[in-house]
Amino acid sequence: MLRTATAALFASAALVTAATACETTFKSADTHPDGYPTVEGVKAMGRILEEKTGGRLCIEVFHSAQLGEEKDTIEQTQFGVIDINRVSMGPFNNIIEATQAFSLPYIFRSLDHEHAVLDGPIGEEVLAAFSDHDLMGLAYYDSGARSFYNSVKPITKIEDLQGMKFRVIQSDLFVDMVAALGANATPMPYGEVYSSIQTGVIDGAENNWPSYDSSGHYEVAKYYTLDQHLMVPEVVVMSKATWDKLSPEDQQAVQEAARESVAIERELWAASEKESEEKVRAAGVEVVSEIDKTPFIEAMVPVYEKHVSSDALKDLVARIQATE
Ligand code: GTR
């Protein structure tokens, strides 16, 4: 017992030493709770960064939306109040046009297709687009596929969505996507969704298995339909203000640490998807997994027509579709 206590004491002393060795600790935001794959991904990035810089540069992850909802944390990252942010691509849609390409419904045919695009030149190009908006795009994380869930009834076909009210991320593209399916979209911050479903302000929302689980939304919206309309990647960004203060060597270390953390997040993601699916099914969620996606895909034609309007976006989308 004593030995354990002494070991613990030494361990904590070591932690303090390690912590005080950090010359700079970057503040990083995430809306998800501790343990969620994206939170653990950025923590891994921090460990890699410490290693690369002899403990000079560290990252502290403020999980569970401690620094605010995504839209606000993006602004704070642009201002340099927050150094690093792990966010969905969705909330960037209204400010960075290129991010819309990865936020289009059914743009990715599979996870392999998504990885081929993100890990190749198109992925680089979209990350580079952040630098015109006071941000540096560092890396993409996995986020699976988003599907609709609600508190009213099982959705087995597109007609069932008629007139229903769904929360979406604050992006005009997602508002139009829901409208094209015959439903009504209410853009609102993630943190307000649980109570809005509970009080009937909305009928439901849409998200991947781990978010549906960790947010507790499955407790108030037990019908989940695997229509998988979106595969929106997560992105890790750094404030340009923070980036510009770093030496070229440290910039490289940050960039490499972000890239090297991707494989860790992807592995955690795959495990978490399975775990969350099993957990919510066991909790009594009614899952509709046999659903014809064709009418959903066809309904997206006007959404593409409206949002893929500039030549640059048309070209980007064509190249994504042509990627094997
Ligand atoms: C999750 C995503 C979050 C947040 C959330 C939402 O899948 O990881 O960053 O965007 O969705 O719907 O607001």
For the stretch 189-201, pLDDT in tens is 999 999 999 999 9
Shortest-distance atom of ligand 1 to CA 146: 7
What domains sit in the chain, N to C, each tagged with a CATH number?
21-143+232-276 (3.40.190.170), 146-231+285-322 (3.40.190.170)
Cα of 211 to ligand 1 centre, how many Å? 7
70 lines ligand 1 (CB under 6 A): yes
Tokens matching residue 197: 């479903």
pLDDT exceeds cutoff 70 at 211: yes
Say if ligand 1 is within 6 A of residue 206 CB.
no
Angstrom distance (rounded) from CA 302 to CA 317: 15
- Band of residue 162 on the pLDDT scale cut at 50, 70, 90: very high
Which residue type sits at 218?
A: Y
The whole-number average pLDDT for the span 269-291 is 98
- Residue 2 alpha carbon to ligand 1 centre in Å: 45
Identify whether the C-beta of residue 213 lies closer than 8 Å to the C-beta of residue 276: yes
> Which DSSP category does 63 fall into?
-
Of all protein residues, the one whose alpha carbon is nearest to atom 4 of ligand 1 is 88
- Can you tell me whether residue 265 is helix, strand or coil? helix
**Ligand 1 centroid – CA 113 distance (Å):** 21
Q: What is the mean pLDDT of the chain?
A: 94
Q: Which residues contact 225 (CB under 8 A, 6 or more apart)?
A: 147, 148, 149, 154, 155, 156, 287, 288, 291
| CA-to-CA separations, 299 to 186, 227, 245, in angstroms, rounded | 19, 13, 47
- For ligand 1, say whether the CB of 39 is within 6 Å of any of its atoms: no
Q: How far is the CA of 190 from the centre of ligand 1 (A)?
A: 7
Check residue 21 and give its pLDDT: 85
- Global pTM reads 0.93
Structure tokens that stand for 187 in this block: 């853009």
- Quote the pLDDT of residue 6: 38
Question: Percent of the chain beyond pLDDT 70?
Answer: 94
- What percentage of residues in the chain have a pLDDT greater than 90? 94
Contacts of 281 (CB under 8 A, 6+ apart): 287
Q: Of ligand 1's atoms, which has the minimum distance to the CA of residue 206?
A: 12
Per-residue pLDDT tens digits for 103-156: 999 999 999 999 999 999 999 999 999 999 999 999 999 999 999 999 999 999
Ligand 1 near 150 CB (within 6 A): no
Ligand 1 pocket test, candidate residues 207, 208, 213, 236, most atoms within 8 A of CB: 207
Looking at residue 20, its pLDDT comes to: 55
Residue 102 and residue 122 in contact, taking contact as beta carbons nearer than 8 Å: no
